[in-house]
Amino acid sequence: MSAIPTFALSVLGLPKLLFKEIDQARRNFLWAQDEELSGGKCKVAWKNICAPIENGGLSIHDLQKFSSALCQRWLWLSWQSEDRPRKGSGLPCDKTDKALFDSSTTVTLGNGKLASFWLSPWITSPNLATLFPNLFKRSRGKNRCVAEALANDTWVQDIRQRPNEDLVHSFLILWRALRVANPTL
């Protein structure tokens, strides 16, 4: 009941509405087979069916939660190895998946060549792009790693357009945070 959706979830970012349609088809198969499904035919609540066998369920995956777990795996694997086949292509993850990943992982810099200056939570969580959206929007170096961005303050040179008061304020806050995090800068 879950093999084909699981395969699709592992490589594609499926729309949330599709999860409901797939769950409807799975409930229909389980409770009504070829007949039309009505609420009276469902013997057990769907969330109970999705529970592990040890908890009285059938261990049928909740597709939304399972999809999020697969996205977390993609995000983790993108950190683990640079020679992955999907490296450089878009991952099937949305902002919620990335926010969950950022809040549940810790980035240890090392040489700073793997972590993204703007998109990785290397200095704080959430990441710098989320904390300083105006600076991120105006940066030409959105994909720079931490080592490249901090070398000779390249991140500063990447900021384009004339500064306004909000931009200068954000810039100063970020500048100070970077100096506190790494006093040798």
Pairwise CA distance, residues 154 & 177, whole Å: 16
Pairwise CA distance, residues 102 & 115, whole Å: 12
Pairwise CA distance, residues 72 & 91, whole Å: 10
pLDDT digit string (tens) for the chain, length 185 residues: 566 666 666 666 667 777 778 877 887 777 767 666 566 666 777 788 888 889 888 888 887 788 888 888 878 877 766 665 555 566 777 788 888 887 787 777 788 888 888 888 888 777 888 889 888 988 888 888 888 988 888 888 888 877 677 788 888 889 888 888 775 55
Residue keyed to tokens 């970012």: 13
pTM, to two decimals = 0.60
